[in-house]
Structure formats: C-alpha cells, structure tokens
Amino acid sequence: MQDLNAFFNPTSVAIIGVTPKEGKVGKVLLENFIKRFKGKIFPVNPKYSEIMGLKCYSTVKEIPEDIDLAVIAVPAPIVPKVLEECGEKKIKAAIIISGGFRETGTKEGALLEEKIVEIAKKYGIRILGPNCLGIYDNWSGVDTFFLPDEKMRRPPKGGISFISQSGAFASALLDWMAYNNIGISRAISYGNKVDVDDVDLIEYLGSDDKTKLIVIYIEGLKPGRGREFIKKVREVSRKKPVIVYKAGKTSRGGIAAASHTAALAGNYEIYSAAFKQAGIVEALSFDEIYDFAKILLTQPLMKGNRVFVITDAGGVGVMLTDALTKEGFELPLTPSDLKEELRKILPPHCIVENPIDLTGDADDERYRVVLEKVLPKPYVDAVIVVALPQIPGMTEKIIDYIADAKRYGKPIIVINIGSETAVKFKVELEARGIPVYESPERAARALKALYIYSQSRLRCIK
Amino acid sequence: MSPHDIIKKALEEGRYKLLEHEAIEMIKYYGASVAEAKLAKTPEEAGKIADELGYPVVLKIVSPDISHKSDVGGVIIGVNSREDAIEKAKKILENVSKHAPKARVSGILVQKQAKPGLEVIVGGLRDNVFGPVVMFGLGGIFVEVLRDVSFRIAPLSEEDALEMMKEIKAAKILEGFRNMPPVDKKALAKIIVATAKLLEDNPEVDSLDLNPVIAYPDGALVVDARIILRRPK
C-alpha cells in the first residue's frame, strides 16, 4: 500500500485546470494548496503563463521536475488526454476531481470512465475519483476539497481519519468538526472509485501512525470486494477502532426471490453481518458517529460488562440504569466490602447502592473519595459519573478529580446536563480525555460501542 | 453422485432447481445430518426403500414441475409398512396424474419421518459484493412474519455459527422453552457451516433453503432442502 503514500505525502503536486476566475474550482484548489501545502506546487493551464504568482505550465510534460501527484480538475472529455500526459510524465498518482463520468448515467460518461481506467492501467497510475472531493490531509497540507475556508472550515489536527463515499457529507462533517473543535488526521472522498477504494484506504490508514481511529461513511462496496473488505478491516480493527455508518439501509425487498433466504437477505442485513465479522463498530445514526468516536479515541478497553454509576441526581441515576440495562450492561449491587468503605466516608443520607447517589448536597470532594474507592475494585469494569453542575457544592475542581481518576486504567464517562457551566465542564473534561454526554441514552450506547470493540479486541488477544 | 455431478446433471437437463433428493444429498456431502431419503422410480421400489430406511416414512412426489407438493396430493406421511408404502406410492401417482397431468414425474421420494422437534431454517445465498452468505432463523412465524434471522459471510467457523444463534431475538427458545429441553446448538452449527461450505465449493449455486431443519436435544436433521442454481446471464 506504499503506493498510496503519494496521495497523502507528495513532495510535488501538479494542479491541472487551475484558473484565476472567481468562484471556479480551479481557483479554490490552487488557493488552498498555496495556503496549506508544504511541498512544491505546479499549476497547469495552457491559457495562462502565471497564476497567483506561480509559473503556469501548458501541460504537465513541460514541468522541469518530477511530480508525485496530479490533481485533475478539467472538464470530463479532456480528462483522458490530460491523464495520458500524466502517464508520459511518469506521474504515479492522480486525484480526478472532475465529474461527468459513470455517475451521469449516460453512455458517454461510462465510456469516458472506461477510457481513464484503461490509460491508468497502461501507465500504472493509481486513481482517486473521478467525481470526488479527493483528500484533506492535515499533516502534509494536501487539500483538494475545492471549497473555500469561509464555506467549509478546516478542523484542527487530530487522530480521526474519515473515508466518505459522499463528497457533500464529507465536507459537511469537516465543517462541523471544525466548529466543534474536533481534530482530524486525513479525510478522503473517493467518488466513483474506479481504482482506489474503501479497502485500499482502510489498509493505508490502518498502518498510518497519525490515524488513531477511522470513520467510514459507506453506501456500497464494489462488487466482489466484500471478503477483502472484511479481511483488511479485521486486521486494522485489531490496532485501532473502525466506525462505519452505512447509508441505504432500506431493504431491496419486493424483488421476487427464488428462496426464502434470498427474500430475507436485504442488502443492509448482509452489510451489518459483515461489519460484525470485521470487528467494526456500527453507528446507526449521525449522532452516534461522534458519540462513539470520542469514547473509542480516549478510553481504555472495557474488560467486562459491569458498570457503576456515581451521581448527584437520583433521577438521572434511574434514567441511566434503564438505558444501561437496555444495552445489556449489568449494574451490580454494591458488594458489602465497598458498602462499608463508602458508609465510612459518606454522610448517612447518601445511597451507597449502585447507582451510588451522593445527593444534592454533594461537593466535588465527595466525588473524589468515592471514585478512589470504586475504581480499583475488581468487579468494576467502567464508571459513569453524573456530575450535574447545578448543585451548590460543585466547582471546577471536579474536572481535575475525574481526569485524575484515569490513572486506574478503566473507562470513565461523564453525564452533564445544563447551560454555560455544563458546557464549560464538558469542553474542559473532553480536552482532558473524558468523553461527556448530555443524554443518558447516548452515553449508554457509546459505552456499548466501547464494550463491543473491547470484546472483539480481547478475543483477538486470546 | 458428487455435488459436481449432481449440478452437472441438473444443468444438462435444463433444471435450475435441484430435485429434493439431490439437494439433500448435496448438503449431506458437506457434513450435515439429514433425514435419510432416496428416490424410488416405482411403487415397488418405494416399498423396498421404506424397508431399508425403517418406519415410519414419508412419501413425496418428485417433479421439476411441482413446487407445492401438498396441493396436488403429492405428500403422504406416517407410512408404516412395506405394503402401505407401495399402496400410498400408487395413490400419490394417481393424485398427481389427476391434479397435475402435464407434470414430469422423476419418481417418489421415500424419506425417514423425522420426530417432532424445534423447527429452524438455515439458508444461504451468493451476494455480488460479499460472495457466499448464510442465514439462520427459527421456523414458521419467526421467519415469515417477524423476519427474525441473522447472517454471516462465509467462510465461517463453528463459533461464528453459534454467535448467529445468539443474535436472533428469539434466541431464548433455543435454550429450552416451557417443557422443551435446550436444543443441540453444536449440531445446528455443523449444518450452518456445511451450508457455507456448499456455497463456497459450488459457484453454480445461487441460493438454498434448508427448511425445516429439526433440532433435538441431541442432534439436528435437515428434513427439506431447496437448492437454486444460477441462471446464465
């Protein structure tokens, strides 16, 4: 997979189809590269001799240096000619941004696509696209997402890499991540995937040190690629979590089938089975994508399914009990040894049964001492802290206390509901690697994702 | 006959659905336990086979043109002696010539009658993205109304097959229900694994249903099998 490296870490890039015209893809592309890319940039367009202070070449063949990556943004009918020139120039990687191929549903589009596949084969060029946004790489500065910063903000550097079958969803998610200050490593929109596909990209990101977690938005794999997908993802998910959101869940039912099995096997049911076999964590909604990502990125593996809840709000404790039980977690009754220890340190009106209720007169100190008693116990696999900030005794010290409790090496997540103070606590806790959720149900689902991922990892270790 | 020969013969005869005894032979070849069945060409042969298999037996018409056998009087259960087998086989042939006079008749299937147990379905199909896929579910309303089934992509291990059984919503029924003892899940797993192997080994097979498979506290039997071959494009 080293050959994909040219897409992400090129030292020189030719951008074919640049233009100084306002609002055009070719202008935004060049602007973004100038702003972010750390290597050499060679604009190509026969109509100009200079653009934005850079010498403009009429073809790639004129460029006096070797080129690692070509970014192609010319009208579809010209793409074959341009690609041919890239081949002659011995360029081994090309991102074809241009649309107008198979996705149009026309015969001409399909023929053009076949043509570029043929040329790519002839010269041994790897192709990303066509009809895609291409790559946003937060390390090398490769940025073919042809949207200006004011339309799509760029997220800070981080551990999440994102593969998307939808370009529009990719750009929306990046913009959202930037707004929420969530870091990204590399993002890829592969469009029609005539060559480089999900499987290749997962393999590449799997061995990429900068990527700590992979998120995939997928509609469908290429025919015949399913088993390779399972095999590769299984290898990768032993090293890092892979979250998939599958779009197109509705069944292809209605087609007359010759057997029961064929009638029952919707497209989605088969994908969902494949995800399980590959060790993928499946997100069922948009919310779950990031709910899962933040727990999987920050928390250690969860060894069993026993959860203890420490709360200052009895009601939220009950809500959590319901949500956790529904997800199949166990909330063990507090064993007598722990009960005794807790009774010694807590006022008599506190409830030492699980959920452990520190009540509305709790202060952050009470959380600290209880966390220290609960977390080391062998029968505790994870702790959920409900720390509603409305109670009088709660101060910012709670953030330190919870973050310090990470040293016990067990998953800890926090539920926090409220206004500015709650948001402030959330931002600071998350900055220190403690995921915070507003809703008990979403917290329970996220913990379940961590549990499922942990079990599949632990099974592999065995 | 080997699976390869069975498929070859069917294709040569222009059949894209295997006859029942062929389908049962195929799945047996891959290690599934089946309710033993043989094809009789004549009522007398049916009697002879019935004697070999032991009683009671079931008789079923075998015809490439009849898919709903009961509707044409093509199934008789609870046959208890050689004489009875010969007589009931004749009766089936009569029924069929009356209700489906144009149907080609390949013979009469004589099958050992399986004891009642928990009915489940094991299925398989070939997906254009993932290749061979297997399915598991409980029989009757569980599959038909509730669509309570689970899937796995082949190849799969016995452990995967056991996981599939845990995944259906009605999984508790397999653990024993009211007066029913728990069923032999390992025996079912063997049938699921056999289904995956059959699909992997025979690219001509498009889909199959083993319906029902009857599960017992010890063992499980494939009672009815339907195998569909791919039609050339």
Residue with tokens 């403690």: A434
Strands of A358-458 (E only): list them: 382-386, 412-415, 436-437
Contacts of A323 by beta carbon, 8 Å cutoff, 6+ apart: A440, A441, A443, A444, A445
Give the closest residue to A229 by CA, choosing from A268, A184, A276, A177: A276
Domain residue limits, chain B: 36-113, 118-229
The dihedral built from the CA positions of residue A256, A258, A264 and A268, taken in this order, carries a sign that is negative
Q: What does the alpha-carbon distance between residue A452 and residue A168 come to, in Å, rounded to a whole number?
A: 30
| Residues from chain B contacting residue A223 (CB–CB below 8 Å) | 128-129
Q: Report yes or no: B153 and B131 within 8 Å, Cβ to Cβ.
A: yes
Answer yes or no: do A127 and A178 share one domain.
Answer: no
- CA-based nearest distance B230→chain A, Å: 11
Of the candidates A220, A258, A270, the beta carbon closest to that of B133 is on A270
Interface of B with A (CB under 8 A): 17, 121, 123-125, 127-131, 133, 135, 137, 143, 147, 149-153, 156, 160, 206-209, 211, 226, 228
Percent of chain B with pLDDT strictly greater than 70 = 100
Answer yes or no: do A85 and A191 share one domain.
Answer: no
Which three-class secondary structure state does DSSP give residue A290? helix
Cis peptide leading into A130, omega within 30 of 0? yes
Answer yes or no: do A127 and A161 share one domain.
Answer: no
Helix A420-431 × helix A397-404 angle, to 10°: 30
Res A249: pLDDT:
77
Answer yes or no: do A453 and A330 share one domain.
Answer: yes
Q: Report yes or no: A382 and A410 within 8 Å, Cβ to Cβ.
A: yes
Q: Report yes or no: A88 and A61 within 8 Å, Cβ to Cβ.
A: yes
Mutation choice for A interface testing from B151, B163, B199, B209 by most A CBs within 10 A: B151
Q: Is residue A136 part of a domain?
A: no
Cβ-defined contact of B133 to A273 (cutoff 8 Å): yes
Q: Is residue A139 part of a domain?
A: no
The residues that bridge with B122 in the sheet, in sequence order, are B136, B210
Q: Please say if the pLDDT value at position B16 is more than 90.
A: yes
- CA-based nearest distance A334→chain B, Å: 29
Q: What is the DSSP string of chain B?
A: --HHHHHHHHHHTT-SB--HHHHHHHHHHTT--B--EEEESSHHHHHHHHHHH-SSEEEEEE-TT-S-TGGGT-EEEEE-SHHHHHHHHHHHHHHHHHH-TT----EEEEEEPPPP-EEEEEEEEEETTTEEEEEEEESTHHHHTT--EEEEESS--HHHHHHHHHHSTTHHHHT-BTTBPPP-HHHHHHHHHHHHHHHHH-TTEEEEEEEEEEE-SS-EEE--EEEEEPPP-
Mutation choice for B interface testing from A218, A255, A259 by most B CBs within 10 A: A259
Cβ-defined contact of B123 to A270 (cutoff 8 Å): no
The residues that bridge with A41 in the sheet, in sequence order, are A13
Asked which of A213, A247, A282 is the last residue of a domain, the reply is A282
Q: Which two tokens stand for residue A414?
A: 């926090």
Q: Is residue A292 part of a domain?
A: no
Mutation choice for A interface testing from B20, B125, B211 by most A CBs within 10 A: B125
Q: Is residue A287 part of a domain?
A: no
Residue A47 belongs to what domain range? 1-131
Cβ atoms < 10 Å from Cβ of A313? 22
Answer yes or no: do A310 and A418 share one domain.
Answer: yes
Which three-class secondary structure state does DSSP give residue A328? coil
Contacts of A23 by beta carbon, 8 Å cutoff, 6+ apart: none
Distances (CA, A) of B5 to B25, B127, B200, B204: 11, 24, 16, 12
Res A254: pLDDT:
43
Residues in chain A: 462
Instruction: List the CATH number of the domain containing A17.
Output: 3.40.50.720
pLDDT tens for chain A, residues 1 to 462: 457 999 999 999 999 999 999 989 999 999 999 999 999 999 999 999 999 999 999 999 999 999 999 999 999 999 999 999 999 999 999 999 999 999 999 999 999 999 999 999 999 999 999 999 999 999 999 999 999 999 999 999 999 999 999 999 999 999 999 999 999 999 999 999 999 999 999 999 999 999 999 999 999 899 999 999 999 999 999 999 999 999 887 655 445 556 666 777 678 889 999 999 999 999 999 999 999 999 999 999 999 999 999 999 999 999 999 999 999 999 999 999 999 999 999 999 999 999 999 999 999 999 999 999 999 999 999 999 999 999 999 999 999 999 999 999 999 999 999 999 999 999 999 999 999 999 999 999 999 999 999 998 988 765
Q: Is residue A28 part of a domain?
A: yes
Which three-class secondary structure state does DSSP give residue A14? strand
Give the closest residue to B126 by CA, choosing from A377, A128, A227: A227
Q: What does the alpha-carbon distance between residue A250 and residue A157 come to, in Å, rounded to a whole number?
A: 36
Residue with tokens 């079990």: A455
Instruction: Search chain B and give the residue with CA nearest A258.
Output: B228
> pLDDT class for B144, splitting at 50, 70, 90?
confident
* Structural fold of domain B36-113: Dna Ligase; domain 1 (3.30.1490)
Domains: count for chain A? 3
Question: What integer is the mean pLDDT of B76-83?
Answer: 95
Q: What does the alpha-carbon distance between residue A452 and residue A233 come to, in Å, rounded to a whole number?
A: 15
Of the candidates A224, A225, A269, the beta carbon closest to that of B151 is on A269
Asked which of A69, A99, A131 is the last residue of a domain, the reply is A131
Answer yes or no: do A95 and A188 share one domain.
Answer: no
Distances (CA, A) of B24 to A74, A188, A219, B28, B82: 59, 49, 38, 6, 23
Answer yes or no: do A104 and A164 share one domain.
Answer: no
Cβ-defined contact of A259 to B137 (cutoff 8 Å): no
Model pTM? 0.92
Res A256: pLDDT:
55
Answer yes or no: do A167 and A98 share one domain.
Answer: no
Instruction: List the CATH number of the domain containing A413.
Output: 3.40.50.261
Q: Report yes or no: A265 and B139 within 8 Å, Cβ to Cβ.
A: no
Written as one letter, the residue type at A202 is I
Taking only the tens place, the pLDDT of each residue in B149-164 is 999 999 999 999 999 9
3-state helix, strand, coil in chain A (%, to 5): 45, 20, 40
Written as one letter, the residue type at A65 is E
Q: What does the alpha-carbon distance between residue A186 and residue A160 come to, in Å, rounded to a whole number?
A: 7
Contacts of A127 by beta carbon, 8 Å cutoff, 6+ apart: A94, A95, A96, A116, A117, A120, A194, A195, A196
Distances (CA, A) of B43 to A407, B48, B77, B157: 80, 9, 15, 43
Distances (CA, A) of B210 to A395, B119, B121: 64, 10, 6
Q: Please say if the pLDDT value at position B72 is more than 50.
A: yes
Res A253: pLDDT:
44
Q: What does the alpha-carbon distance between residue B201 and residue B189 come to, in Å, rounded to a whole number?
A: 18
Asked which of A97, A131, A165 is the last residue of a domain, the reply is A131
SS (H, E, C) B95-153: HHHHHCCCCCCCEEEEEECCCCCEEEEEEEEEECCCEEEEEEEECCHHHHCCCCEEEEE
ipTM of model:
0.89
Q: Which two tokens stand for residue B61?
A: 């018409």
Q: Is residue A423 part of a domain?
A: yes
Q: What does the alpha-carbon distance between residue A253 and residue A257 come to, in Å, rounded to a whole number?
A: 9
Answer yes or no: do A358 and A271 share one domain.
Answer: no
Answer yes or no: do A7 and A80 share one domain.
Answer: yes
DSSP A280: P
Q: Report yes or no: B174 and B158 within 8 Å, Cβ to Cβ.
A: no
Q: Report yes or no: B137 and B150 within 8 Å, Cβ to Cβ.
A: yes
| Residues from chain A contacting residue B160 (CB–CB below 8 Å) | 277
Q: What does the alpha-carbon distance between residue A349 and residue A312 come to, in Å, rounded to a whole number?
A: 12
Of the candidates B143, B153, B228, the beta carbon closest to that of A230 is on B153
Long-range contacts of A166-172 (CB under 8 A, 24+ apart): A166/A217, A166/A219, A166/A247, A167/A131, A167/A132, A167/A133, A167/A191, A169/A217, A170/A133, A170/A145, A170/A217, A171/A133, A171/A145, A171/A147
Number of A–B residue contacts, CB under 8 Å: 80
Contacts of A216 by beta carbon, 8 Å cutoff, 6+ apart: A162, A163, A164, A198, A202, A242, A243, A244, A245
Q: Is residue A293 part of a domain?
A: no
Q: Which two tokens stand for residue A245?
A: 């959101």
Written as one letter, the residue type at A314 is G
Question: What integer is the mean pLDDT of B20-42?
Answer: 95
Question: What integer is the mean pLDDT of B203-221?
Answer: 96
Residue with tokens 């590399």: A186
Q: What does the alpha-carbon distance between residue A434 and residue A449 come to, in Å, rounded to a whole number?
A: 16
Res B68: pLDDT:
85
Q: What does the alpha-carbon distance between residue A441 and residue A413 come to, in Å, rounded to a whole number?
A: 13
Res A1: pLDDT:
45
Which CATH architecture does the domain made up of B118-229 adopt?
2-Layer Sandwich (3.30)
- CA-based nearest distance B210→chain A, Å: 9
Q: Which two tokens stand for residue A452?
A: 């499922």
Question: What integer is the mean pLDDT of B182-198?
Answer: 97
Res A146: pLDDT:
94
Q: What does the alpha-carbon distance between residue A151 and residue A133 come to, in Å, rounded to a whole number?
A: 14
- CA-based nearest distance A257→chain B, Å: 10
